[in-house]
Amino acid sequence: MAEEQPAKEKFYITTSIPYVNANPHVGFAMELIQADVLARYHRLLGEDTCFLNGTDEHGSKVPKAAAAAGKDVKDFVKEISGRFQDLSKVLGISNTHFIRTTSQGHKKASQKFWEKSVAAGDIYKGKYEGLYCVGCENYYNESELAAGLCPIHKTKPELLSEENYFFRFSKYQQALLDYYHKNPGFVKPASRFNEIIQFVKKGLSDISVSRSTKTLKWGIPVPGDKNQVIYIWFDALINYVSGIGYAEEDGTFKRYWPADVHVIGKDILRFHAALWPAMLLSVGLPLPARVYVHGFITVDGEKLSKSRGNVIDPFPLVSKYGLDPVRYFLLSEIPSDGDGDFSIKKLEARYAADLQNNLGNLVSRLTNLIEKNFDGDLPEEDPAPKTAENLQRHIEEFRLHEALAEIWKNISWANQYIDQVKLWELPKKDPKLFKEVVSSLVALLRQVTIELAPFLPDTAQKLNEIFSAEKIVKSQPLFPRLHI
Ligand code: ZN
């Protein structure tokens, strides 16, 4: 009988689920890539990694966007959801699961969640009052209005009231504060954690979690009430459990829940760091370990907006510059834990400086010297390297840009060192030293390969092929000249 293997540790990571009223943009591409780095990193540590993304397909804006596109709403959501699934493929995302909130599994899970929350005494009927735009068939918050008018129709919304269901958010104020206190690393960066603590400390109001079918039809029916649908936020958050089989509470769900990391944008912090944990407390499920919060991307210094026409489509970006250059740019230029600016000029500058002239150049110089002087045979190797501790810390603290900067320090150092010792002169001048230097540079590149794998998987694979070949030969450029 085979010896029993110790159980692998599990790692469960999610991205937010984008709303399907529009095509993917570069900001969400960044979120996918950030989460992918973490998933790959944990997989390489040997953890049994589950990685979920999906699409948020309910709410009043979806039927409207479908109508505007002249499409049946079901066909429309399927098409846009398909675009997001394509995006994952194009970006090399290693997700293991994908959830659509219009799926049967999600519907069942949401209704089950709802019923459990009702059983806990946390859902009650109340009067909801809000500013409603008839044209949009949608309620607006004051903050969403433009000078008191509907941002789309430029008309004054009506004050409407309806009877719907509320979630007892207020009940969980102390429990949330206790959880934050016991889990000082719950939200990263710390500034966002502080923001959420202050928000909860001020006191929580119960929130409306359903809509009358008179004002919203495209949603999951409230169990036992045909005239109400579950409001989109309540249903959307449940994707993190429905996506891994909460409806049946099967093996996958038991294995992976609670999530180890939710990666989100800063605009949905309250939903993830306060409402979602309160919902989980209500139904008696354990809380996620961490919420990593990224900032926003501006383009050429301006906010992304359809009207400005500066929304960057990630698909042509990847076909023009290649996958790893796009991953590298988004991960290094935009700080994971803050805001950043996207520009084609900066992307091309980093492509040339960091990828072509630094990493690419190092590899071609080194492989050239090995081919010429060792007939392709590598001199004896240094022992296998380990990932530097500070690099691990940067990754675990969600500072992916700093992790990459750390890796690039070694790459730059290697190029400078080659210049300094005039490596190309050494085979004649000091063959013993030449051997030693080449061997340590190859060891350094092996380390770089391991460290780069979660960030730039294709490049890491190419490096691996180059340096583990029987005979090392001068490599093709890793990053070809751009045809611009
Ligand atoms: Zn309107």
- Only one residue has tokens 């997989």, namely 43
Calpha distance 279→128 (Å, rounded): 20
57 CA to centre of ligand 1 in angstroms: 20
16 CA to centre of ligand 1 in angstroms: 26
54 within 8 A of 29, measured Cβ to Cβ: no
User: HEC string of 46-81?
Assistant: CCEEEEEEEEECCCCHHHHHHHHCCCCHHHHHHHHH
59 CA to centre of ligand 1 in angstroms: 14
297 CA to centre of ligand 1 in angstroms: 27
Structure tokens at 19: 């709303």
Residues 6+ apart with CB under 8 A from 453: 40, 44, 460
20 CA to centre of ligand 1 in angstroms: 19
Calpha distance 62→72 (Å, rounded): 11
153 CA to centre of ligand 1 in angstroms: 4
What tens digit of pLDDT does each residue of 118-156 get?
999 999 999 999 998 887 777 888 888 989 999 888 999
Calpha distance 356→274 (Å, rounded): 44
152 CA to centre of ligand 1 in angstroms: 5
211 CA to centre of ligand 1 in angstroms: 17
147 CA to centre of ligand 1 in angstroms: 13
61 CA to centre of ligand 1 in angstroms: 11
| DSSP structural state of residue 38 | H
137 CA to centre of ligand 1 in angstroms: 7
232 CA to centre of ligand 1 in angstroms: 18
156 CA to centre of ligand 1 in angstroms: 9
1 CA to centre of ligand 1 in angstroms: 68
63 CA to centre of ligand 1 in angstroms: 14
226 CA to centre of ligand 1 in angstroms: 26
306 CA to centre of ligand 1 in angstroms: 17
Question: Closest Cα partner for 297 from 348, 342, 332, 349?
Answer: 342
420 CA to centre of ligand 1 in angstroms: 66
pLDDT score recorded for residue 269: 96
pLDDT score recorded for residue 484: 61
- pTM here is 0.94
Calpha distance 39→152 (Å, rounded): 39
pLDDT score recorded for residue 368: 94
102 CA to centre of ligand 1 in angstroms: 25
141 CA to centre of ligand 1 in angstroms: 12
74 CA to centre of ligand 1 in angstroms: 23
311 CA to centre of ligand 1 in angstroms: 23
pLDDT < 50 positions in the chain? 1
215 CA to centre of ligand 1 in angstroms: 13
pLDDT score recorded for residue 1: 47
Residues 6+ apart with CB under 8 A from 237: 271, 272, 275, 276, 279
Residues 6+ apart with CB under 8 A from 300: 310, 341, 342, 343
Question: Closest Cα partner for 448 from 437, 459, 433?
Answer: 459
294 CA to centre of ligand 1 in angstroms: 30
